[in-house]
Amino acid sequence: MPAGPSPALLGATVRAFLDRDDLDAATVRSYGQTLRRLRLGLGDELPLGSVDADRVAGVLAAAWGGAAPRTWNRHRAAVRSFAAWAGLDDLAAGLDRRPEPAGRTGAIAPEQLERLWALPGPSLRERTLWRLLHESAAPVRAVLALDVQDLDLDDRGACGDHGDRGVVWRSGTARLLPELLAGRTRGPLFLTDRRPGPGRTPAPADLCPETGRARLSYERAEHLFKLATRPLDPAGEGWTLRMLKPRR
């Protein structure tokens, strides 16, 4: 009798899930951390049909049972995304969502901001983005959508979609912007570190014609900010870019 088709295995399915063009690098890293632990706990050769909510709950409880609510919920969300993509039952059924502390999206305190500005590691791009978000109080996506040709450096403002001065800044940003531009006259203001690889060609509006690099994504900018601010955050999780909006 000929052998039937081989059952799908956990390790190979996870690799296929992460090796997709619709996931950016930051998402792959985030999901990969959760699913790597799942593979270690259950084994790459475990048939996918044998992966159930109880087994998943045991692995995550052992790895992150004492984690902060935001961290726990992030791992839970990764499991749910994987299960939905793989066509499995809800593997997060045994993972209750934990309530997150109120005020986590509030503004960063002034004394913490001073520590942030003094951090030695962040790149010029990150320092400029953070200052601009704080000084302008503009939405993160609006700032990341800025193009070089939108800027008026003399008047410290950028035109919005309807010609209004949608984003304005102060002296901290004004000192950093000329160095960030480095002579560029067009294209996205905030760029990725490298040119996009094959199969990941961005829309023309999101590609710099002078450097070949793409517009920095919200997900990547958020990931870098959380990494940089973990040592400053008393909870050890890192802050979100929305927390740069000044207190009123």
pLDDT value of residue 203: 85
Distance, in Å, from the CA atom of 163 to the CA atom of 168, rounded to the nearest integer, reads 13
The residue among 129, 140, 148 whose CA lies nearest residue 186 is 148
pLDDT value of residue 152: 93
- DSSP letter string, 175-186: HHHHHHHTT--S
pLDDT value of residue 206: 92
pLDDT (tens digit, 9 = 90+) per residue, 4-48? 456 789 999 999 999 987 777 777 888 899 999 999 999 999 999
Q: For residue 186, count CB atoms less than 10 angstroms from its CB and return exposed for 0-12, middle for 13-18, buried for 19 or more.
A: exposed
pTM > 0.85: no
pLDDT value of residue 148: 96
* Main-chain phi, psi angles of 98, to 5 degrees: -95, 135
Q: What is the separation, in whole angstroms, between the first and last Cα of the chain?
A: 75
Dihedral in degrees, nearest 10, Cα atoms 145, 147, 153, 159: -70
Give residue 166's pLDDT band: very low, low, confident or very high (50, 70, 90). confident
Q: What percent of the chain has pLDDT over 70?
A: 92
pLDDT (tens digit, 9 = 90+) per residue, 59-71? 999 999 988 888 8
